[in-house]
């Protein structure tokens, strides 16, 4: 059975590089940390698979949220940090993120009570970051 609506995607008029910079700025202004990044186009190209498009993920984390989620379900760390993907698609720059508010209750239904509305709150904050990048 397919999992519907598990991600949020926005399109921006920014260049790929400017979108990456904007994600960092918007995340940090909301007290989310950027733990690292992976440039998939570079990684694949370096191994002999040149890419026509660009794709880079930024690993974002809000420690206070992560602490509560890990307290509710140890395996939830498998879904951390939150990954925000910036990629190009036929001349357009897009930004995407998985919605923890969809995935966490689905993967860890027994932790729903402990998590309360937190996963949806994390969704809202990630959406806010992506919308700000698209709109700024």
Partner 1 sequence: MNAPEFAYAVECNKTARQTIAALWSASLKAGWIVLGDYDMGGLIPEEEAKRGVEVKSIDMCKPVHAKPFIQQDPMTALCMPCNVLVRMADGKTTIAALKPGVMLPKLFPEAVGALGKLPFDIDAEMKAIIDQAVAAPTKAA
What is the closest distance, in whole angstroms, from the C-beta atom of residue 117 to partner 1 in the complex?
A: 19
CA distance readout (Å), 51 to 39, 73, 96: 11, 37, 19
Give whichever of 21 and 106 is closer to partner 1, judged by the CB atom: 106
Can you name the residues that pair with 33 across neighbouring β-strands?
61
What is the closest distance, in whole angstroms, from the C-beta atom of residue 3 to partner 1 in the complex?
A: 5
CA distance 68 to 118: 8
What 8-state DSSP symbol labels residue 111?
G
Q: Are 14 and 91 in contact (CB under 8 A)?
A: no
User: Which residues contact partner 1 by CB under 8 A?
Assistant: 1-3, 6-7, 9, 35-36, 38, 40, 43-44, 47-49, 51, 53, 55, 57, 61, 63, 66-67, 70-71, 74-75, 77-78, 80-81, 83, 85, 87, 89, 96-98, 107-108
Give whichever of 21 and 77 is closer to partner 1, judged by the CB atom: 77
Q: How many CB atoms lie within 10 A of CB 122?
A: 23
What is the closest distance, in whole angstroms, from the C-beta atom of residue 2 to partner 1 in the complex?
A: 5
What is the closest distance, in whole angstroms, from the C-beta atom of residue 33 to partner 1 in the complex?
A: 10
What 8-state DSSP symbol labels residue 108?
-
């Amino acid at each position: 059975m397919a999992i519907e609506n598990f991600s949020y995607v926005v399109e921006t008029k920014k260049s790929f590089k400017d979108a990456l910079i904007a994600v960092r700025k918007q995340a940090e202004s909301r007290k989310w940390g950027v733990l690292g990044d992976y440039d998939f186009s570079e990684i694949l190209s370096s191994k002999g698979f040149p890419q026509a498009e660009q794709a880079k993920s930024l690993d974002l984390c809000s420690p206070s949220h992560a602490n509560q989620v890990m307290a509710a379900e140890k395996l939830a760390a498998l879904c951390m940090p939150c990954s925000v993907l910036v990629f190009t698609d036929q001349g357009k720059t897009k930004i995407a993120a998985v919605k923890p508010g969809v995935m966490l209750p689905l993967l860890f239904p027994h932790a729903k009570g402990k998590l309360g509305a937190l996963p949806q709150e994390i969704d809202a904050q990630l959406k806010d970051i992506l919308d700000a990048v698209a709109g700024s």
